[in-house]
Amino acid sequence: MACDRMKFLTIRQPWAQLIAVGAKHIETRPFSTKYRGPLAIHAGKSRSWLSREDAAEWPDRYGVAFPSKQDMVFGAIIAVVRVV
């Protein structure tokens, strides 16, 4: 008997946070999927990307402010989205 399980995708912060708050609508990957439906967003544990990003550049580059470090969660499911 098949067991339905929630599918998930691990995404590094701060990108996962932007998906969770609705500021990032598209995630590209090198593989395709026919899956459509609910998808849990897992914020990865790595904090390495935070030091590589310049928060001052975010509004011009991405159209949103860099999320505050206090608002970001690491190593946990932070949102459920629908893949369409």
Q: What is the pLDDT of residue 3?
A: 54
Residue type, 12: R
DSSP-derived 3-state class of residue 41: strand
Are residues 26 and 53 in contact, defined by beta-carbon separation less than 8 angstroms?
A: no
For 4-48, the pLDDT digits (tens) are 788 999 999 988 998 998 888 888 888 888 999 999 999 999 988
Task: Show Cβ contacts of residue 9 under 8 Å, excluding neighbours closer than 6 positions.
Answer: 27, 39, 40, 41, 42
Provide the sign of the torsion angle of the four alpha carbons 62, 56, 12, 73, taken in this order: negative
pTM of the model: 0.81
pLDDT at 36: 93
